[in-house]
Amino acid sequence: MTIGFTGSPLVRLDRERPDDAAFARHLADPRARLLALDGLDPVVDAAGGLTWTALTGRDPAIELVLLGLLDGAPAFVALTPGARGKPMFTLMQALAALPAPDAATWGAARSLVDWHARHRFCGRCGAPTEAVRAGWARRCAPCVAEHYPRTDPVVIMLAEHEGRVLVGRQPRYPARRYSALAGFIEVGESIEEAVARELFEEAGVRATRVRYVASQPWPLPFSQLMIACVAEVESDRITLDGEELEDARWVDRDGVRAALAGDPDAPFVPPPPYAIANSLLTRWLHDADARAV
Ligand SMILES: [Zn+2]
C-alpha cells in the first residue's frame, strides 16, 4: 500500500536550482504550468485531480517556486503571503478523493508555500528575505544568510505487548477515533529515545526495543517528517498523562483487523488512510498475522 503524501511523479530539479538561467528557461517554456491553490488547499479539477493553469498573465511581483518537472513540463507554484488552509480534519475528505500522486505533489507544494510565508524575514538579522534557488531557499541580502525549507521530525508509534498494540485518543479527534501515539523529536534526541520518552510521558509504558517501520512527509499544518515505529514495552500497565490523551487502550489483532475493515463493532475507528498511523496499523497487523501462522 502507498503511504499518504508519498509517490509524487515530480522530477525534482535540485541540481539546477542554483542556476538562474535554467529557472528563466523553465519559466519561458510554453508547457510550463502553475498549480492552482485555494489558499493553501488543493483545487480539484473535473477529472478529480489537481488543477493546473497556464503561467501567462500572472503578476510578475509574485514569487514562484519551480516544483520540478511533471510529464516533462515545468511545474510551478506561486508564493502567496498570508495564504491559509482549512483545518486538517476538514481537508481529509478532499484529500481522500485525490489520486495519491496528486496528493503527494500538493503536499510538497503546500509545505513550500507555507514555509516561505513564515520566513519572509531573516531569523539572523531581521531583514526581509527573497526567494532564491528556484524557490527552494530564501536569502537575506544584508547578512548573506541562506535559509532552507525545514521539516520537523515526529515519531509516531505503536507500543506492542504480548500480541496487542496501544492506541490512544486525543480530545480533538472525531468520535471513537484512536490512533498511534506521536510527538516531536527534540534536539539532541535519537528516534529511539524520542519514541521511549513519548510513550512513557503519554502512557507510562517503558520501551525495551524500538523498530523503524516507515516514514511520511506530512504537510499539515506545517512540514513534518513522520517516522513510524513499533516499540516493545515491558508491561501493559497504562498511566495516562492526562494532558494529550483522554484515553488509551490495548487492541489485539482481531480488533485492529475489524477497525481497518470499517466494522461498526470494531473497538475503535482508525485514522484515515492518508495518515501513516493507518499504514502502521496495517503493517503491524500484516506482520503479526505472519508471525502467528
Ligand atoms: Zn539576515
Residue 126 C-alpha to ligand 1 middle, in angstroms? 6
Are the CB atoms for 268 and 251 separated by under 8 Å? Answer: yes
Determine the residue type at 246: E
pTM surpassing 0.85?
yes
What's the 120 CA to ligand 1 centre distance in angstroms? 11
15 CA from centroid of ligand 1 (Å)? 25
Mean pLDDT of 258-283: 96
Q: What confidence score (pLDDT) does residue 242 get? A: 77
Contact residues for 175 (Cβ-Cβ < 8 A; gap 6+): 269
Cα-to-centroid distance, 223 and ligand 1 (Å): 23
Q: Ligand 1 mean position to 63 CA, how many Å?
A: 19
Write the pLDDT tens digit of every residue in 112-141.
999 999 999 999 999 999 999 999 999 999
Alpha carbon of 140 to ligand 1 centroid (Å): 5
Q: How far is the CA of 180 from the centre of ligand 1 (A)?
A: 40
CA pair distance 256, 261, nearest whole angstrom: 8
What pLDDT was estimated at residue 86? 86
Cβ–Cβ < 8 Å for 207, 195: yes
Q: Name the burial class of residue 286, with classes exposed (0-12), middle (13-18) and buried (19+) by CB atoms within 10 angstroms of its CB.
A: exposed
Once rounded to an integer, what is the mean pLDDT over residues 225-237? 98
pLDDT in tens, 189-198: 999 999 999 9
Cα 121 to middle of ligand 1, angstroms: 8
Contact 217, 224 (CB under 8 A): yes
Query: How remote is the CA of residue 137 from the centroid of ligand 1, in Å?
Result: 13
70-119 tens-digit pLDDT: 999 999 999 987 888 888 778 887 888 899 999 999 999 999 999 999 99
E strand or H helix that includes residue 69: strand 64-70
Residues by chain with Cβ below 5 Å of ion ligand 1: 122, 124-125, 127, 140, 143, 145
**What pLDDT score was predicted for residue 218?**
95
- Confidence class for position 2, pLDDT limits 50, 70, 90: confident
Residue 127 alpha carbon to ligand 1 centre in Å: 5
pLDDT 10s digits, 16-28: 999 999 999 999 9
**Which residues, in sequence order, are bridge partners of residue 248?**
168
Using CA atoms, how far apart are residues 159 and 201, in angstroms rounded to an integer?
A: 13
CA 130 to centroid of ligand 1, rounded, Å = 11
Nine cell digits for residue 132: 532564491
Q: Is 237 exposed, middle or buried (0-12, 13-18, 19+ CB in 10 A)?
A: exposed
Distance of CA 83 from the midpoint of ligand 1 (Å): 24
What distance in Å separates the CA atoms of residue 263 and residue 269, rounded to the nearest whole number?
9
Q: What is the DSSP letter of 62?
A: S
- Calpha distance 242→17 (Å, rounded): 47
